[in-house]
Amino acid sequence: MSDKPWGGRFKLKLAAEAEKFTSSIAYDCRLFKVDLVQSIAYAEALKKAKVLSDAECKKIIRGLEQIMSGLESGRIKYRTDLEDIHMNIESLLIERIGDTGKKLHTGRSRNDQVATDIRMYLKYEITETLIQIRRLQEVILDLAEKNISVIMPGYTHMQKAQPVLLSHHLLAYYEMFQRDKERFNQAYSRTDVLPLGSGSLSGTNFDLDRNFLAKELGFSKISQNSLDAVSDRDFAIDYLSAAAQTAMHLSRFAEEIVLWSTAEFDFIELSDAYSTGSSLMPQKKNPDVAELVRGKSGRVYGNLVALLTIMKAQPLAYNRDMQEDKEALFDTVDTIKSCLGVFKDMLNSAKINKDSMKKAASKGYLAATDLAYYLVRQNVPFRQAHEIVGKIVSYCEGSNMELEYLSLKQLKEFSDKFGYDVQRILTAESSIASKDGVGGTAAKRVKESITRARTNLLHDKT
């Protein structure tokens, strides 16, 4: 005969192999705090529904508090034969207080219990993730402000395109992470729905005050369909999706850090504290932290695809497949938080090689577009101006010289529209200053963006 809490209708014990295969306690044990907090609130709700007496409720709550203390201190160990965290806690409660502990699960299923646990856990972790993103944004703003006038090449197709301010380049990542925060906040809103009180799938037979439960457990809304409530993992997918985009943004930034730290670029130097060496080559200083952040994006993507695949063909309501949601979710939570934290510290300790950036921006004909726009202002059609400047660039390549060293006489050989003032626009500084529209790289606009970002962070609830 089965010795499981659900074993009443079973004649045989669960095979040892099946028991090991179905157990989730090895990873869902991290839900113990939220499961205990939920159970304490549920005991109060059962008292309100007159399922428990006042004395029974107090006895259960004392028992749950003792279990909390024991698990936190490590005095209590989990039993793998009890499948999951819910069965472990229920068994521990019954051991401590006897048959009264058997009443706690009245009207509650592990289906609505685990759905509530995961939502409670994830709400906390979303808040923690938002705090990590904000801290990274603060480092980005500090770095941008400290290097407000540093000039560097801007790239398209990894080819030098136009000069930009380093601060402008950094603020692009600030904006990416700002959108990430919006996505995590949206995920939080959809996670902030209480499923407890839905039973296994059809609701509960007892007069549970679900609004009371929501208030006690910090939820702003309660679910409206019991079938959906116990089988919904959209909120977890929302988190994984937001995390995947954050990982993608971190990976893009990490890729630039890797490139910029090469001898070929020499734009930055990473701190020894965030670099590693070679076991063979003594001279090496490798950007392993940035590379790992870049690499871990694939891990986060994989977890998103895994949960989407797990959910894609499940009929209503709960199915055991959903047990597979936790490892993907937990791993992503751990991965994205560690990536945000270490990337922030790595970036904060990096040294900017201003001269190398400026030197790189002075080569590659980066003012070519500004030269074409000069002709446009002289009423030359843009396509014609584009062609003229293309020929000038070709001439410079053949002569091994930069645009800013061309004389007015040489420029006039390509177009008589060039005047004495043309040479003032051929420097990186003048090119940057001319990009004065909203969102442009002109110093004035960048300073405005930093001020706006500081204000946003000041009023940021995270």
pLDDT beyond 60 at 321 = yes
Instruction: Assign residue 54 the CATH number of its domain.
Output: 1.10.275.10
What band does 456 get if pLDDT is binned at 50, 70 and 90? very high
Residue 410 in tokens: 């040489």
Residues 19-77 pLDDT 10s: 888 899 999 999 999 999 999 999 999 999 999 999 999 999 999 999 999 999 999 99
Answer yes or no: is 220 within a domain. Answer: no
Q: Are residues 349 and 374 in the same domain?
A: no
Q: Are residues 378 and 453 in the same domain?
A: yes
What band does 2 get if pLDDT is binned at 50, 70 and 90? low
Q: Which domain holds residue 59?
A: 16-106
pLDDT beyond 70 at 136 = yes
Roughly how many angstroms between the first and final C-alpha of the chain, as a whole number? 53
Contact 186, 235 (CB under 8 A): no
Answer yes or no: is 140 within a domain. Answer: yes
Q: Are residues 241 and 343 in the same domain?
A: yes
Contact 402, 365 (CB under 8 A): yes
**Residue in the structure block whose two tokens are 């910029």:** 260
Q: Are residues 326 and 241 in the same domain?
A: yes
What band does 291 get if pLDDT is binned at 50, 70 and 90? very high
Q: Are residues 350 and 233 in the same domain?
A: yes
Q: Where are the beta strands (DSSP E) in 27-94?
A: none
Q: Are residues 333 and 368 in the same domain?
A: no
**Residue in the structure block whose two tokens are 């309501």:** 317
Q: Are residues 414 and 311 in the same domain?
A: no
Q: Which residues are catalytic?
A: 157, 278
3-class secondary-structure state, position 153: strand
Give the ranges where 261-324 is alpha helix by DSSP (H).
Answer: 288-311
Domain finish residue from 359, 374, 396: 359
What band does 3 get if pLDDT is binned at 50, 70 and 90? low
Q: What is the mean pLDDT of residues 3-12?
A: 72
pLDDT beyond 70 at 174 = yes
Which residues lie closer than 8 Å to 139 by C-beta, 6 or more apart?
344, 347, 348
Question: What does pLDDT average to over the chain?
Answer: 95
What band does 357 get if pLDDT is binned at 50, 70 and 90? very high
Q: For residue 403, count other CB atoms closer than 10 A to its CB.
A: 22
Instruction: Assign residue 244 the CATH number of its domain.
Output: 1.20.200.10
**pTM attached to this predicted model:** 0.94
In this predicted structure, what is the pLDDT of residue 1? 53
Which residues lie closer than 8 Å to 342 by C-beta, 6 or more apart?
274, 289, 293
Say how far residue 180 (Cα) sits from the centre of its chain. 7
In this predicted structure, what is the pLDDT of residue 460? 83
Whole-number percent of the chain with pLDDT over 70: 98
Residues 75-114 pLDDT 10s: 999 998 898 999 999 999 999 999 999 999 999 999 999 9
Contact 154, 162 (CB under 8 A): yes
Answer yes or no: is 211 within a domain. Answer: no
Answer yes or no: is 3 within a domain. Answer: no
pLDDT beyond 60 at 170 = yes
Domain finish residue from 106, 127, 162: 106
Query: How many domains in the chain?
Result: 3
Whole-number percent of the chain with pLDDT over 90: 93
Domain finish residue from 90, 106, 122: 106
Cα(343)–Cα(253) distance, rounded to whole angstroms? 9
Residues 222-239 pLDDT 10s: 999 999 999 999 999 999
Q: What is the mean pLDDT of residues 126-133?
A: 98
Answer yes or no: is 116 within a domain. Answer: yes
Instruction: Assign residue 399 the CATH number of its domain.
Output: 1.10.40.30
Q: Are residues 122 and 185 in the same domain?
A: yes
In this predicted structure, what is the pLDDT of residue 8? 74
pLDDT beyond 60 at 267 = yes
Answer yes or no: is 280 within a domain. Answer: yes
Q: Are residues 306 and 428 in the same domain?
A: no
Cα(33)–Cα(68) distance, rounded to whole angstroms? 7
Q: Are residues 288 and 233 in the same domain?
A: yes
Q: Are residues 232 and 309 in the same domain?
A: yes
In this predicted structure, what is the pLDDT of residue 6? 62
Cα(241)–Cα(249) distance, rounded to whole angstroms? 13
In this predicted structure, what is the pLDDT of residue 109? 96
Q: For residue 438, count other CB atoms closer than 10 A to its CB.
A: 7
Answer yes or no: is 414 within a domain. Answer: yes
Q: For residue 336, count other CB atoms closer than 10 A to its CB.
A: 30
CA atoms within 13 A on the CB side of 60: 30
Answer yes or no: is 268 within a domain. Answer: yes
Contact 241, 168 (CB under 8 A): no
Q: Are residues 451 and 382 in the same domain?
A: yes
